[in-house]
Structure formats: C-alpha cells, structure tokens
Amino acid sequence: MNRDVFTLLATDGGARAGVLKTSHGDVHTPAFMPVATQGSVKALDPADLKAIGADIILSNTYHLYLRPGVELVERFGGLHRFMGWSGPILTDSGGFQGFSLEPLREMTEEGITFKSHLDGSLHTFTPEAVVRHQERLSSDIAMPLDVCVALPAKWEAVEAGVERTGRWAERSRKAHSRANQLLFGIVQGGLYPDLRQRSVSFLTGLGFPGYAIGGLSVGESKEDMYRLTGLTTGMLPRESPRYLMGVGSPEDLVECVARGIDMFDCVLPTRTARNGALYVPQGRLNIDAAPFRTMDKPVEEGCDCYTCQNFSAAYLHHLFRSKELLAYRLASIHNLRFILRLMEQMRGAIVSGTFGEFRVKFLSGFIPPDEDAREAQREKWLTARSRRAEEG
C-alpha cells in the first residue's frame, strides 16, 4: 500500500526527497504545511498560498467542529470547496487541544470531553467520532486522536499515554472507511527512547500508510528534540512518509530534514509575521525597528515573494507602525515563501547529493533566537495556560 502512496526519489545521508500522492494532488517532500486552523491561513487566501508554492495545508478538526460545524462543511461539499482550496489538506484530530487546552478538558479511556472555549458547552471526542468528523470534512490526510503528555513527565505517565494512544489508534483504524483519505498513525513516547520504540512497533503493526511524530516541540530543548526525532525516524519504515508535528523554525526544519523527516506544520511563520518578525537568511529581523523607517529596498533582496518584489522595507515598517491590516498579509506572504523556498532548496540539494553542504552553509548564516528567549516564550505560554485554568 505504501508504494502506491509515497515514492522515495532520493536520499542524501538521512535526508529524503519524495512524492506523496493524495486525492487532490501530489505533495513534494520535504514539505511544509501552512496552518489553516479554522479553514483559513490567517491574512491569506488560496491564491496567495498557490503563489507562494504551497502544496498542502493543515486544518484542525476540533476548531472546525465547534465553528462552523462539520455538518455545514459537509453540506458545502467538503472542506476544499468550502474554503476554495483545490490542493491537498491534512486535518489534525484535536489531540493537541487535549494537551494545549488541558484546563478545559477531561480525558478518559473513551475519549476527550472538551468544555468549548467559545460558549462553555461540552463535547466528547472519541477516536471513532474524530475519524467520522474528518471523513465528513473530506480531508486528504486524517490524524487519529492521541495523547500528548506535557513535559517534563515521569516515565510512568508517558507510558500510560503511549498505551492509550495505541488503543485509540487501533479503534481509529477500524473506524476509518473513506478509501480516498489517508489515515496516519501518531508516534508518542516523550523523551524516552524505549517508549518511542514501543509506540512505533505497535503502530507499524497496524499498517498505517504514514506516520507522524507527536509529543515534541512542546518545551523540550532543541538537542532533545533533534535526538528523539533522529531516533524515531530510524525506527520507522523507510517506505512511509514521516511527519513531525508542530515544528516550523527554519533551523529546526533543516536539522530535522537531515534526520529523515518528510513533512512539517507550524503556526510560527505566520504568527511571527503578524508580530513584525520577518525571516531573512541571517535570521529574524524586527521590521518595527527604527533602521527600517527609511530603508528603500525590500526586506530580503533577491527574494521572489510578492512582498519583496513590490514593496520596500520602509513601507512595511510604516504599515506595522500604523497597524494597517495589509501589514499582516504582506509579512505572512514573505515568511511563508521563505519557508517554502527553504523546502524547495532542500529538495534540490537532496536530489543533487549536496544536502550536507547546504545544511552547513544555511546553519552557519542563520542565527536563531537564543535558548533563553525560547524558554521565556515557553514560560509565557505556560502562564497563559494557567490563567485560563483559573478563569475556566
């Protein structure tokens, strides 16, 4: 089955280039999926996404279930027609919301019961219901309900999550019936190699056409993320696509492609764009900073995106300082094009056998935010989550 779904075209060390076939077209890997949580990539339309080179996008079952409702999307012929996007769509299950909305949910063996963040109503997501919702949304790739354990966590807590994720995966596999939709398995196991191995062994025994790696990029160090990513890809079938969930920093994309990942998603490129942080080959710049007020050249010289081809850095600086809505669109176009061009460059380097050189050159020039800033951002997120718990 996997031979019909995924074709591996070239490898260079651990890095892979391939093609994933879906009912709405091919996805060239390594691939990055812009996040359209509620059926829209914030500030962009489908024409923008096509223009910047997106093969596939990601939407979220939990959020679409709450608003506008799965029934309405189905009535419009499915998510593709509803949002005007003709390319492939992957839908996440709501399992991550079981992690991120912990104060608003109760988890049992049957599933996850959420207290809606919109109106306080209760909704139970079972593995079978989540599969049914995604079949009605008509996405090309569906994800099963899983258990993502917050870090740091003891081995026993992560083991319980792995075991439940496996049982839910088996129930999801039995419930799935849509022939033109791929259902991927999700590997859990936290930072414990033995639990990652246990999760992989069980899921591969169920015979999914592709496998995601969950439970990373949730607060662990980059070194741990890279280590566990490499260990897990080494356990997964060579002929199956591998998807690392929730990772989108440029340096992380390069390092994890080097470790055998084929697919990524993350809100980071568009979220940072809306905050005026724009990617350039040297790292991230703050377009709101004073030096850009009079800069009569694009944010990134040589960039082929619509923003850089048509507007100066000074104009973007003005838009952000004036809080004009156009700022968010132009910045999002640039950041996503930067990421998608990076994926294209990595594909080309893998095919030509020069990925190792590309990796060294990129990482020697790109300076990411330091680990202290990353930890501060995580603490800010944890504080916000605690506040939601107190209020809810």
Q: Taking the CA of residue 355 as centre, how many other CA atoms within 13 Å lie in the half-sphere pointing to its CB?
A: 26
pLDDT on residue 389 = 40
Question: Tokens standing for 142?
Answer: 């569906």
Length of the chain: 392
Residues 78 and 220 in one domain: yes
pLDDT of 68 above 60:
yes
DSSP state of 367: B
Active site residues: 92, 265
Residue 278: HSE in the Cβ half-sphere, 13 Å Cα cutoff: 28
Domain C-terminal end among 266, 298, 324: 266
In a domain, residue 374? The reply is no
| CA-to-CA dists, residue 287 to 161, 284, 291, angstroms | 42, 9, 9
Would the pLDDT of 388 be above 80? no
The 3-state DSSP class for residue 177 equals coil
Q: Is residue 297 part of a domain?
A: yes
Which pLDDT score is estimated for 100?
86
| Domain annotation covers residue 244 | yes
User: What is the structure's pLDDT at 383?
Assistant: 58
Number of domain units in the chain: 2
Task: Report the chain's mean pLDDT, rounded to a whole number.
Answer: 94
Preceding amide of 68 cis, omega within 30: yes
List of residues 6+ apart from 358 with CB closer than 8 A: 345, 346, 349
Nearest by Cα to 139 from 174, 178, 97, 175 = 178
**106 vs 371, higher pLDDT:** 106
Secondary structure in 3-state letters for 40-103: CCCCCCHHHHHHCCCCCEEEEHHHHHHCCCHHHHHHCCCHHHHHCCCCCEEEECCHHHHHHCHH
Residues 73, 217, single domain; the answer is yes
Q: Are residues 119 and 159 in the same domain?
A: yes
pLDDT for 1: 42
| Backbone phi and psi for residue 152, each to the nearest 5 degrees, phi listed first | -75, 150
Q: Do 241 and 133 share a structural domain?
A: yes
The two tokens of residue 239 are 């002929």
Claim to verify: residue 259 and residue 291 sit in the same structural domain: no
According to the model, what pLDDT value does residue 376 have? 63
Top pLDDT among 359 and 391 is at 359
**Residue 389 belongs to some domain of the structure:** no
Residue 374 has pLDDT above 70, yes or no: no
Q: Does residue 382 register a pLDDT over 70?
A: no
pLDDT digits (tens, 9 = 90+) for 233-265: 999 999 999 999 999 999 999 999 999 999 999
Q: Can you tell me the distance from the alpha carbon of 57 to that of 60, in angstroms, rounded to the nearest whole number?
A: 10
Q: What is the DSSP letter of 290?
A: G
Domain span at residue 120 reads 2-266
How far apart (Å, rounded) are the C-alpha atoms in residues 241 and 280? 29
**Binning pLDDT at 50, 70 and 90, where does residue 290 land?**
very high
The answer, yes or no, to whether residue 387 has pLDDT greater than 90, is no
Instruction: Assess whether 15 and 162 both reside in one domain.
Output: yes
Write down the pLDDT at residue 392. 36
Percent of the chain with pLDDT over 90: 89
Judge if 111 and 205 occupy the same domain: yes
Residue range 329-337: mean pLDDT, rounded: 98
382 assigned to some structural domain: no
Question: Which distant-in-sequence residues (6+ apart) come within 8 Å of 356 by Cβ?
Answer: 12, 13
Structure tokens at 107: 């988890």
pLDDT of residue 390: 37
Cα three-residue angle 68-74-79, rounded to 5 degrees? 75
Task: Provide mean pLDDT across the span 70-93.
Answer: 98
pLDDT of residue 373: 62
pTM: 0.94
Mean pLDDT throughout 49-57? 98
Digit-coded pLDDT (tens) for 1-36: 455 899 999 999 999 999 999 999 999 999 999 999
Are 183 and 220 contained in the same domain? yes
pLDDT bin (cut points 50, 70, 90) of residue 181 is very high
Backbone angles phi, psi at 17, to 5 degrees: -120, 135
Question: Residue 119 burial by CB count (10 A; 0-12/13-18/19+): exposed, middle or buried?
Answer: exposed
For residue 142, being part of any structural domain is answered with yes
For residue range 109-146, list pLDDT tens digits in order. Answer: 999 999 998 999 999 999 999 999 999 999 999 999 99
Do residues 240 and 18 make contact, with C-beta atoms less than 8 angstroms apart?
A: no
Residue 227 lies in a domain: yes
Evaluate whether residue 379 is within a structural domain: no
Whether 172 and 289 map to the same domain: the answer is no
> Are 142 and 162 part of one and the same domain?
yes
Per residue in 190-228, pLDDT (tens digit) is 999 999 999 999 999 999 999 999 999 999 999 999 999
